[in-house]
Amino acid sequence: MGYAFFRLLLCSHDHDYPLPLFQSFPPAEAIRSSHLDGFLGNPITDLPDRFCFRKAAVFHNADKCGFRDNRISGKTDVCDPSLVHVAITLDVEYLRVRSTFPQLKFKVYYFDPEIVRNLISTSVRQALEQPLNYARNYLADLLEPCVRRVIYLDSDLVVVDDIAKLWTTNLGSRTIGAPEYCHANFTKYFTASFWLNLKFSGTFSGRKSCYFNTGVMVIDLAKWRRVGYTKRIERWMEIQKSDRIYELGSLPPFLLVFAGHVAPIEHRWNQHGLGGDNGRGSCRNLHPGSVSLLHWSGSGKPWLRIDSKQPCPLDALWAPYDLYGHSH
């Protein structure tokens, strides 16, 4: 398992009004993965000695972000409507100890892998079969009912813009918002047998279904709970177990449920695919346009390429934020 770092710049220099305060809520099999069950204990301090991190640099705009506000220095209520809720799934090798981010307020939720283990099918990559990849399906259950909206972020990304801009996305009547990529070949995300069976492929009838990357999503949890989308996703996973309708882990069930019903978000919020294909050693360039978020999705991860002394050019953008001590 690798390690990663994301950076959130919470205040924008082009705003003259107060922005919401930030709190991170990683609803994960956090602190321990299934093979490290003995390390739960105190989820912040009881980490194995082999994990060594260096302290994060102070955010360049920290003075403008209200870190000295009493609500941040004291106890913050998870139901505080001024908070921006960001959820990230992490395991013990990803999680940074509290001293690494002394200015960050966060809460850890434990995700039980047994909830989803029997629903997972084999995938094209073993990494995609890990229960933690499916924790995002259960955010509505893991987070308190008073949390009505959340930004979900993968852990292999760097945010270089004001997260409050993403938080205020207008979802309209939609339950989730994400950058869509309608030029992508949508059919490749499902097997030939899926498209030949109208009972399955008919689910996209009347929908302008486009690919979207589930690593960056704004989710209306109130609507999710009301409709019961977790059960809908689980139903498609059960069908996959019996009929093999796709080859990629946790993405296709999201496409089956939401593709064509997504509130579009600007592409600058997910410059994805920077991981390329580590097997072939390919490197990716940025997509044209503005950049608010860099996402190393794909099998090639920057920390692995940096450690192996074979980085891609864009991995240099990741390197300053990698706090894992063994890499330096």
Asked whether the beta carbons of 45 and 111 are under 8 A apart, the reply is no
pLDDT more than 70, % of the chain = 68
74-127 per-position pLDDT tens digit: 455 889 988 999 999 877 655 546 555 666 677 888 889 999 999 988 766 666
Q: Which two tokens stand for residue 172?
A: 């309209």
181: how many CB neighbours lie within 10 A of its CB? 16
The three-point CA angle 299-301-307 to 5° equals 135
Alpha carbons 261 and 152: distance in angstroms, whole number: 17
DSSP per-residue letters across 156-216: SEEE-SBHHHHHT---TT-SEEE-EETTS-GGGGS-HHHHH-HHHHGGGTT----EE-TTE
For residue 138, what pLDDT band results from cuts at 50, 70 and 90? very high
**pLDDT reported for residue 16:** 29
Amino acid at 159: V
Name the least confident of 122-131, 164-173, 271-280. 122-131
Buried-state track 68-86, b at ≥16 Cβ within 10 A, e below 16: eeeebeeebeeeeeebbbb
Smallest CA-to-CA distance from 6 within 81, 88, 121 is with 88
State the pLDDT confidence band at 5, using cuts at 50, 70 and 90.
very low
**48-75, pLDDT tens digit by residue?**
333 344 445 555 555 555 444 434 444 5
Give dist(CA 223, CA 51) in Å, integer. Answer: 39
Question: Residue holding tokens 């009929």?
Answer: 243
> Residue 4 has what pLDDT?
30
3-state SS class at 109: strand
276 closest CA partner among 156, 133, 185: 156
How far apart, in whole angstroms, are the C-alpha atoms of residue 141 and residue 115?
A: 12
pLDDT value of position 279: 54
pLDDT score at 204 = 96
Domain 3-30+53-62+77-265 has CATH 3.90.550: yes
Q: How confident is the model at residue 19 (pLDDT cuts 50, 70, 90)?
A: very low
The structure tokens listed for 301 are: 């991860």
Distance CA(248)–CA(125), nearest Å, equals: 8
